[in-house]
Amino acid sequence: MTTAIRPNILFVDDEPNFLDGLRRMLRPQRDQWEMHFAGGVDEALEILHATMMDAVVSDVNMPVKSGFDLLMEIKAHPEFCTAPVIILTGNAETDLKRRALDLGAADLLNKPVNSEDLIARVRSVLRLKMYEDRLRSYNEELEQRVRERTRELELSRQDIIWRLAKAGEFRDRETGEHVMRVACCSRILAKAAGLPGIEVDRIFLTSPLHDIGKIGIPDGILLKEGKLTPVERNFMERHCEIGASILLEQPRNMAIFLSSMNNQDPGKNAEKASDALRTMSAEIARAHHEHWDGTGYPEGTAGENIPVAARVVAIADVYDALRSPRPYKSAFDVKTTLTLMTDLRGAHFDPRLFDVFREVYAQFENVREQYED
C-alpha cells in the first residue's frame, strides 16, 4: 500500500513565539501536512530553493524584508511561482490587504490567528493548487501532443516535397543527385549571406523543386542529346512557369473540399493552404533562371525584384550544372567553373550573393563528395 505524499507548507514569521504557537496549534495536522518554519524572508527563500512548497503562510510586517518582499520573490521565480501565498495582516491594515492581493496573494488572514480559520484557509489554497496543477499538467500534455502532431505533419510535408522533387529528377536521367546538392549548397549560401534562419530552412526544403516544371516538357525535348532548336528552347524555358503553376495554383473547388473536411470558411482554408513553403517553392521554380541584369527568363525580371531565394538557388544550380557531366559536355573543373561564373557576376548573378559564394564554394565541393552521382 502506497502512502500519499503530504503537501509541504511553509510558515514565515520573525517572532519565534508566534512560530512556536503555530507548531502547537497545528500539531493535529502533522499526519496530513509536512510543515516547515522560517524566521525571516532569507531563510524562507533558502527553504523554497531546497524543497518545493505547496503553500506559504507569511506575516507581512517583518524587519529588513517584509512579507511583500517574499511574495514578490515567489511570484517572480519560475520554479515556485505557482505556490499560493497566504498573507497575515492586522485587522486595520486595509491598504496592506489591497496591496497583498495586487501582488498575487491567494488569500488573507487576520492576526491573531484562529486555528480553525487557518486550517480552513490552507486547505482551500491547497485544493486550488491541486486543481491548477492538474490543469497545468493536462495543458502541458495537450501541448506536447500538438507539438508531436505538428512535427509529424511537418515531416510528412517534407517527405512529399522530396519525393516530388525526385519524381521530377527521374524525368531527366542525367541529373542524378543534382537536386540534393542544389538544396544543400543553397542552404550553405543562404546561411553565409546572413538570411534569417527560418528563411534558410525554407530555401533548403523548397529548392529541390526548382526544376519540377520539367515534368511538363515532352521527352523529345527534355532528353534530346543534340542542340535544341529555337522553338524547342522556347518550349524548354516554359518549365519555369509550369513549375510555378504546379506548386502555387490550387485545384478548382479544393477550398470548398477542405472546408467540408474542417467545417471552416472556404476562403480561410484557401488562404491557409498558400503557406510560406509553397509560395517560396513557386518563386524559386519561376525565377531561378532570371538574371540580375534582366536578360533571363521567363519574365526578364531584374535585380532585387528577383526573389532572394531564387537568386540563391540560381548560383547553386549553375555551379552544380557546370561541375557535372551532361550529354553535351564534360564536367568542368573547379577553376574553370569559377572563371566562367565570375564573368557572369552582376549579369547573371546577384553580385553581393556571388561574393559570398566565392567565400564558401569549398563547402559546395564537400557537398559534391557527399552526394556523388
Q: At residue 151, does pLDDT exceed 80?
A: no
Average pLDDT for 221-240? 87
Q: Please give the C-alpha separations between residue 138 and each of 4, 53, 82, 201, 282, in angstroms, as whole numbers.
A: 21, 21, 16, 32, 40
Q: At residue 224, does pLDDT exceed 70?
A: yes
**Ordered alpha helix ranges (H), the chain:** 16-25, 41-50, 67-76, 94-102, 115-171, 178-192, 197-206, 219-222, 230-237, 239-248, 254-262, 266-273, 276-287, 308-323, 334-342, 351-370
Name residues whose C-beta falls within 8 Å of residue 74's C-beta, 6 or more positions apart in sequence. 48, 56, 80, 81, 83, 85
82 burial (CB, 10 Å; 0-12 / 13-18 / 19+) is: middle
Identify the residue whose cell numbers are 564554394: 361
Better-scored residue on pLDDT, 281 or 329: 281
Query: What would the pLDDT profile of 54-93 be if each residue is shown by its tens digit?
Result: 999 999 888 889 899 999 999 988 888 888 999 988 756 6
Mean pLDDT: which of 134-148, 170-184, 344-358 is highest?
344-358
What's the rounded Cα separation, in Å, for the pair 191 and 269?
32
What's the rounded Cα separation, in Å, for the pair 302 and 292?
5
Average pLDDT for 278-295? 94
299 burial (CB, 10 Å; 0-12 / 13-18 / 19+) is: middle
User: 139-175 b/e with 16+ CB inside 10 Å = b?
Assistant: eeeeeeeeeeeeeeeeeeeeeebbebbeebbebbeeb
Residue 59 has, within 13 A of its CA and on its CB side, a CA count of 21
pLDDT band for position 246 (cuts 50, 70, 90): confident
Better-scored residue on pLDDT, 2 or 29: 29
* pLDDT for 268: 46
User: What is the layout of strands, in order, in the sheet containing 55-59?
Assistant: 34-38, 8-12, 55-59, 85-89, 107-110
* pLDDT for 302: 96
Mean pLDDT: which of 29-38, 90-99, 147-156 is highest?
29-38
Average pLDDT for 188-210? 93
Q: Report CA Rg, the chain.
A: 34
Mean pLDDT: which of 46-50, 187-191, 214-218 is highest?
187-191
% of the chain residues with pLDDT over 90: 45
* pLDDT for 295: 96
* pLDDT for 253: 52
Longest dimension (CA), the chain: 103
pLDDT band for position 38 (cuts 50, 70, 90): very high
What's the rounded Cα separation, in Å, for the pair 277 and 311?
16
| Listed range (141-145, 163-167, 263-267, 356-360) with the worst mean pLDDT | 263-267
* pLDDT for 220: 84
Q: At residue 269, does pLDDT exceed 80?
A: no
Mean of per-residue pLDDT scores for the chain: 85
* pLDDT for 267: 45
% of the chain residues with pLDDT over 70: 84
Average pLDDT for 190-202? 94
First to last CA, the chain: 65
What's the rounded Cα separation, in Å, for the pair 122 and 55?
7
* pLDDT for 153: 66
Identity at 305, one-letter amino acid code: N
Name residues whose C-beta falls within 8 Å of residue 169's C-beta, 6 or more positions apart in sequence. 175, 176, 178, 179
Contact 337, 285 (CB under 8 A): no
